[in-house]
Amino acid sequence: MLELQNVTLRLKKNDRVLIDDFSFTLQSRDKAVIIGEEGDGKSTLLKWIADPDAVGGYCECAGSAVKKGVCVYLPQFTPRDVAEKTVAEVFEGTKIYPHTKLLRGLGIAPEKLADSQRFGSLSGGEQVKLRLIRLLMDEPDILLLDEPTNDLDIETLVWLERFLQQDSRPVLYVSHDETLIERTANVIIHLEQLQGKTKSRVSVIRGPYRDYLADRESRFAHQAQVARKQREDHARQMEKFRRIRDSVDRAQETISRADPAGGRLLKKKMHAVQSMGRRFEREQANFTEFPESEDAILASFDEAVTLPAGKTVLELPDTRLEIGGRLLAENVRLTVRGGEHIGITGRNGAGKSTLLRLIREKLNDRKDLNVGYMPQNYAELLDPDRSPVDFLAPDGKKEAVTRARTYLGSMRFTRPEMTGKIGELSGGQQAKILLLGMVLSGVNVLLLDEPTRNFSPLSGPVVRAALAGFGGTIICVSHDRKFLREVCGGILELTEAGLVSLDPDELG
């Protein structure tokens, strides 16, 4: 069991409260997911639970986390000290054979754990699987998982879903994968930053994710209806009040001094009218507020951006994919036309990112295309020491800066976030900057490597809608099943023998 007591987390740099006086108990068999928009403190909360000192450099923290049993934590990224070790060193001293079922389920051969390869040189998916195996070998009582689905192939995602469904241990996790959340979570912890990120709100609901979203939408709609009706009724009452007040006021002005009794009667009537007005004011103070929520917002691509359907965007003949002299795939052929949205998936280490980089090299010199690229590692394009405004308006011209600020503001970036360092923003915020850069550049070809990997499940539908409506060509690598189904007209699996067409039903 894990018990959080009166937890408050406040960012030191801007005094922004991420979480305010939050208490929660994670019970046996709970699979609790933390959701919220990018930068709202999901990973910070999980990291603080695992080790309060880990966030002390940038957060003021209060409250306590009481852990009953062995609690293990899977961070979002491989720690540097682990990345520098060999696989064998990471697993040194562990007993492998009691865990052969676990290894088999994740597609890891036992001899892999004695490999002399540097851990950080493994593919992202392999690192996640091996780090998860290492944690589970400690036979923990509580699991804290930060984005465990990042870089996992679909086969491993399905395994993780079954593991979470069947394992009795309590799990507190952060994930962007809506399918995983829908199939595994029975507790929803929703972090929000309201009123221009000046007020925090945490909602806890025990029940499935879809039920939470439907109930939230229903409650907000009812609250908005009540609030609207109260204001409409009040407006009618105030109009009636003003007519009566004006009528009495005119009567007082015109009444003859020879009629003192009538004057007293009108004065008494005016007191009653004024009393009615004060009552209406008191009622107004108790009106139901309109519901406030932190809705996900993303700039949309210009509808004028299109490519002719007959235009050949990419013609990739028989190609061999190699990395470090190791053959990944051969006979890779791909033809892409204007307006097509192509999704590429496959097992971890199959060479998907290598293929996308090769495609980028082939398209970069095309004068008839405007190509945008989003890598898995945003640092390839984003200087962590620059500001979002500098990235989006590199020439510094007033018009470009104003446009960048306007778009960033519409996507809920605060002024300090617009002008602060990109490296201090969350992964999801950095992804939004890259997408916004493509929007402002008017690109007509998108090359995207795991575009939704850092977006919250609340942002996911907005991102998918924006990309599904993109009139240009998309070639993307993804393991996000909802993304592949909703955005991509064609889905291809990269295998050792080349690219193979997949039916959406085969995605799991």
Is 435 a member of any domain?
no
CA nearest 32: which of 161, 174, 147, 141? 174
Kindly report, residue by residue over 464-504, the tens digit of the pLDDT: 999 999 999 999 999 999 999 999 999 999 999 999 999 88
Average pLDDT (443-458) is: 91
Average pLDDT (173-201) is: 90
Average pLDDT (16-31) is: 93
Is 368 a member of any domain?
yes
pLDDT value of residue 233: 73
Is 245 a member of any domain?
yes
Is 400 a member of any domain?
no
Q: Are 23 and 5 in contact (CB under 8 A)?
A: yes
Average pLDDT (383-412) is: 91
Residue 243 and residue 130 in one domain: no
pLDDT value of residue 456: 86
pLDDT value of residue 285: 67
Residue 210 and residue 244 in one domain: no
Is 356 a member of any domain?
yes
Residue 113 and residue 208 in one domain: yes
Domains identified in the chain, total number:
3
For residue 209, pLDDT beyond 60: yes
CA atoms within 13 A on the CB side of 346: 26
Residue 336 — pLDDT band, cuts 50, 70, 90? very high
Residue 38 — pLDDT band, cuts 50, 70, 90? confident
pLDDT value of residue 222: 55
Average pLDDT (123-143) is: 90
pLDDT value of residue 256: 61
Residue 320 and residue 357 in one domain: yes
For residue 223, pLDDT beyond 60: no
pLDDT value of residue 221: 66
Bigger pLDDT: 420 or 282?
420
Is 305 a member of any domain?
no
pLDDT value of residue 172: 97
pLDDT value of residue 22: 95
**169 backbone dihedrals φ, ψ, rounded to 5°:** -70, 145
Q: Check residue 368 and report its DSSP letter.
A: T
pLDDT value of residue 262: 67
Is 297 a member of any domain?
no
Residue 204 and residue 332 in one domain: no
Bigger pLDDT: 264 or 156?
156
For residue 372, pLDDT beyond 60: yes
Residue 195 — pLDDT band, cuts 50, 70, 90? confident
Strand 490-495 to strand 445-449: parallel, antiparallel, or no bridges (unpaired)?
unpaired
pTM of the model: 0.79
For residue 291, pLDDT beyond 60: no
Residue 11 and residue 78 in one domain: yes
Residue 349 and residue 446 in one domain: yes
User: Tell me, what CATH number does 483's domain have?
Assistant: 3.40.50.300
For residue 278, pLDDT beyond 70: yes
pLDDT value of residue 496: 92
Residue 143 and residue 29 in one domain: yes
> What region does 431 belong to: left with phi over 0, alpha with psi -120 to 50, or beta?
alpha
Of 216, 239, 264, the residue at which a domain comes to its end is 216
Of 194, 216, 238, the residue at which a domain comes to its end is 216
Residue 208 and residue 222 in one domain: no
**Looking up tokens 């996000």, which residue turns up?**
480
Residue 25 and residue 94 in one domain: yes
Residue 485 and residue 498 in one domain: yes
Residue 198 and residue 251 in one domain: no
Cα dihedral sign, 134-496-468-481 = negative
Q: Report how far residue 105's alpha carbon sits from residue 156's, in angstroms, rounded to the nearest whole number.
A: 8
What is the signed CA dihedral for 188, 454, 221, 219, rounded to 10 degrees? 10
For residue 60, pLDDT beyond 80: yes
Is 302 a member of any domain?
no
State the residue range of the domain holding 185: 2-216
